[in-house]
Amino acid sequence: MKRVYNFSAGPSILPLPVLEEAQKELTNYHDSGMSVMELSHRSGAFTEIITQAEALLRDLMQIPENYKVLFLQGGASQQFAMVPMNLFGENGKADYVNTGSWSKKAIKEAKKYGEVNVIASSEEDNYTFIPTLNKELFSSDADYVHITTNNTIEGTSIREFPDTGDIPLVADMSSNILSEPVDVSKFGIIYAGAQKNIAPAGLTLVIIREDLIGHASDMVPTMLDYKTHSETGSLHNTPPTFAIYIAKLVFEWLKNLGGLEAMKEINESKANLLYNYIEQSDFYASPVQKDSRSIMNIPFVIPNHDVDAEFVKEAKKEGLETLKGHRSVGGMRASIYNAMPLEGVEALVDFMKRFEEKHK
């Protein structure tokens, strides 16, 4: 069976060398006589996996010493609740930037726990751009500021992170973590569901500055308190062991590729290839403002022609899968995460050219 180019927004494509390595050691991991899936999370072999995974991530992202790396579950959606539960202090106030459907869900959840000020939003314009985030917008007494660095559904991303002074900046980086270098020291918390650029679903990564741990009230469930996981090296209970193992392999793959600078270059060439084609075409169009474009999720539409379903169906026949846009945006969306090779985007552009010729 031939592998396809999977443009899914998540769970999404994983690097083939990672899958092959996992396949090779699936039934007998490093002469343990067991699969990683069967290893105790307290075993020496698994301790080595999780320790290496953290070390590799720290190296890739240049994570400063005063940050903890937590391997959790519950998805990014659980972080929508854990962030306010752990960070709301005496003020009980937070600033949120509303740049897409996922930001909106984070806002809705945070409102259960305190006062939420939406200090900037592009909702009225269908989230087609990132609002300017001046320092003056932020409340001086907020406990934190929350942003979504990449809007998976709408295809926008924050290219310049706001300066929030002493107020911790919390970022949902689910769909662009590890796609390019970021200065971790600018953030209080970075969180991400793993199922796009890290690993299979089931793992959630949290990178948190140490001084933000330990402020949850006694009412916060043990499992939702960052302190629980930070004090136990993410081993308070059984972590998603297999997903952590795949994350380790993905981090190794990224390192061998040359790290995040090299990844950024590759990602930019993939996105440019697709965007340059869309721009010169009068058949396809991008719904996103140019300065707000994501290099991970690229939505495009075919105005004046009712051929979206045909596009998706014909593309699938050529091994170009999962190109249907999100139901809230319509059209098509190509998610071109780290693991999507340049050849996948070349094949997509080639298909788009032929489809355009046929229909325009």
**Residues annotated within a binding site for L-glutamate:** 42
Min dist CB 196 to ligand PMP, Å, is 7
Please say which residue, 119 or 177, places its beta carbon nearer to ligand PMP: 177
Residues annotated in the binding site, as ranges?
Answer: 42, 76-77, 102, 152, 172, 195, 237-238
The yes or no reply on residue 197 touching ligand PMP (CB under 6 A) is no
Q: Which of residues 102-131 bind ligand PMP (CB under 6 A)?
A: 102
Q: Which is nearer to ligand PMP, 164 or 197 (CB)?
A: 197
Q: Is 322 in the site for ligand PMP (CB under 6 A)?
A: no
* Shortest separation between residue 102's beta carbon and ligand PMP, angstroms: 4
43 binds ligand PMP (CB under 6 A): no
Q: Verify binding: residue 174, ligand PMP, rule CB under 6 A.
A: yes
152 binds ligand PMP (CB under 6 A): yes
Pair 250, 179: CB distance under 8 Å: no
Binding residue positions for pyridoxal 5'-phosphate: 76-77, 102, 152, 172, 195, 237-238
| Residue 198 binding ligand PMP, by CB under 6 A | no
148 binds ligand PMP (CB under 6 A): yes
Cβ neighbour number for residue 282 with a 10 Å cutoff: 9
Q: In the annotation, is 196 catalytic?
A: yes
Q: Among 193, 239, 331, 344, which residue sits at the site for ligand PMP (rule: CB under 6 A)?
A: 193
Of residues 68, 95, 102, 248, which has the active-site annotation?
102
Q: Is 211 a catalytic residue?
A: no
Residue 272: CB minimum distance to ligand PMP, A: 22
Shortest Å distance, C-beta 126 to ligand PMP? 17
Q: Which of 52, 73, 77, 128 binds ligand PMP (CB under 6 A)?
A: 77
Among 53, 67, 70, 75, binds ligand PMP (CB under 6 A): 75
Q: Does position 10 bind ligand PMP by CB under 6 A? A: yes
Query: Least distance to ligand PMP from the beta carbon of 317, Å?
Result: 27
Inter-residue long-range contacts of 277-282, CB under 8 Å, 24+ positions, other chains counted:
277/349, 277/352, 277/353, 281/352, 281/356, 282/360
Please report whether residue 6 would count as binding ligand PMP according to CB under 6 A: no
State the sign of the Cα–Cα–Cα–Cα dihedral 261, 265, 267, 272.
positive
Give the binding range for ligand PMP (CB under 6 A) out of 21-29, 64-72, 168-176, 345-353: 168-176
> Residue 150 CA to chain centroid, in angstroms?
7
Region of 63-71, 73-81, 89-97, 342-350 interacting with ligand PMP (CB under 6 A): 73-81
Q: Active-site residue among 68, 95, 196, 253? A: 196
Smallest separation, CB 146 to ligand PMP (Å): 11
The upper half-sphere exposure of residue 292, i.e. CA atoms within 13 Å in the direction of its Cβ, equals 21
Active-site residue numbers?
Answer: 102, 172, 196
Q: In the complex, which residues of this chain contact ligand PMP (CB under 6 A)?
A: 10, 75-77, 102, 148, 152, 172, 174-175, 193
